[in-house]
């Protein structure tokens, strides 16, 4: 169990830095599989916690690299994603496991389709052209991302990718910078809400984990995941900009499709 969770941590650390998504589409299914019968609220809350910490580390590293997002745009999106994360975390306790699964899968399918048809080439020196209609649309998507984040345990990056790529024309190599800057706030709101919630009922067979349950967040599992992701986030943040655009797309789509198949056919 320990080794599997470490491997999950390594994977999500790479994904968060390399693709700009939190890795919740890996973490949540993994936790639901490792701990049979675990309430999805605990899987979601623990996923949000590790995504928050990884996103914060990524933002610091991107800042040191001089890769800073447009502050005017993200200031509006941050407010929206915080509100959405709070609402989503409250809604998660009233959603059935079956409905949760299909919301989760549906989000991944839309992201997969959008990624496949994204055609623009990466440009490290791109200029973001903003106007108020674009800012309003981006803010609305940030609100939706926050809600999905709180409900599904996804960081919200998979919801934000369509608006960044199709409306704002953000190159694939800059998606991690923009997505992480929003994800860090969205997951913070959801994490705090879940920490303060009444814990869903579940008894871990590995007894020590029961002592680390705070609200819906299991600090023990969180610590193991972070142990795995600590070094992989640094490696991916450095190598990501140098990987060809087409290779990044193929890898990301492969991960999404594998997760969709796992959730629909084998769980």
* pLDDT in 10s for each residue of the chain, 267 residues: 888 999 998 888 887 777 767 777 788 888 988 998 898 889 988 988 998 998 898 889 888 888 889 988 999 999 998 888 788 777 766 767 677 678 767 877 877 887 787 665 554 556 777 888 889 988 988 887 788 777 776 666 767 777 787 778 887 778 888 888 888 887 887 788 888 888 778 888 888 898 999 999 999 999 999 998 887 877 776 676 677 777 777 877 887 787 788 777 755
Q: Backbone phi, then psi, for 145, in 5-degree steps? A: -65, -40
The Cα 185–Cα 163 span in angstroms is: 18
Q: How far is CA 17 from the centre of its chain?
A: 11
Burial of 134 (0-12, 13-18, 19+ CB in 10 A): middle
φ and ψ of 70, to 5 deg: -70, 115
Which is nearest to 22 in space by CA: 44, 45, 54, 57? 54
Gap between the Cα atoms of 237 and 55, Å rounded: 11
Task: Rounding to the nearest 10 degrees, give the CA dihedral for residues 163, 168, 169, 174.
Answer: -80
- Both tokens assigned to 11: 């994977």
Helix (H, G, I), strand (E, B) or coil at 214: strand
- The values of phi and psi at residue 44, to 5°, are -65, -50
Cα separation, 240 vs 76, whole angstroms: 27
Token representation of residue 97: 């496991």
DSSP code of 168?
A: S
pLDDT averaged over the chain?
81
Q: pLDDT at position 79, please?
A: 92
Closest C-alpha among 184, 178, 176 to residue 252: 176
SS3 content of the chain, % helix, strand, coil (to 5): 75, 0, 25
Give 222-233 pLDDT, tens digit per residue: 999 999 888 787
- From its phi and psi, is residue 201 left (phi > 0), alpha (psi between -120 and 50) or beta? beta
């Amino acid at each position: 169990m320990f080794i599997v969770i470490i491997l999950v941590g390594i994977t999500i650390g790479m994904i968060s830095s390399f693709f700009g998504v939190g890795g919740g589409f890996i973490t949540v299914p993994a936790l639901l599989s490792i701990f049979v019968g675990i309430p999805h609220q605990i899987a979601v809350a623990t996923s949000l916690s590790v995504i928050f910490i990884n996103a914060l580390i990524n933002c610091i590293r991107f800042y040191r690299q001089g890769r800073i997002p447009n502050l005017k745009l993200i200031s509006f999106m941050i407010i929206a994603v915080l509100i959405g994360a709070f609402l989503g975390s409250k809604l998660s306790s009233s959603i059935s496991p079956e409905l949760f699964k299909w919301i989760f899968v549906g989000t991944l399918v839309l992201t997969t389709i959008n990624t496949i048809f994204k055609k623009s080439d990466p440009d490290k020196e791109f200029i973001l052209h903003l106007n108020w209609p674009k800012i309003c649309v981006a803010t609305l998507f940030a609100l939706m991302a926050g809600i999905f984040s709180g409900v599904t345990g996804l960081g919200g990056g998979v919801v934000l990718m369509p608006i960044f790529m199709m409306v704002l024309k953000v190159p694939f190599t800059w998606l991690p910078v923009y997505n992480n800057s929003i994800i860090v706030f969205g997951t913070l709101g959801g994490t705090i809400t879940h920490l303060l919630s009444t814990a869903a009922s579940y008894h871990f067979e590995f007894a020590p984990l029961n002592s680390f349950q705070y609200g819906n967040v299991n600090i023990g599992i969180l610590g193991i995941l972070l142990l795995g992701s600590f070094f992989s986030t640094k490696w991916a943040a450095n190598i990501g900009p140098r990987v060809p655009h087409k290779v990044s797309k193929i890898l990301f789509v492969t991960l999404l499709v594998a997760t969709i198949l796992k959730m629909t056919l084998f769980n």
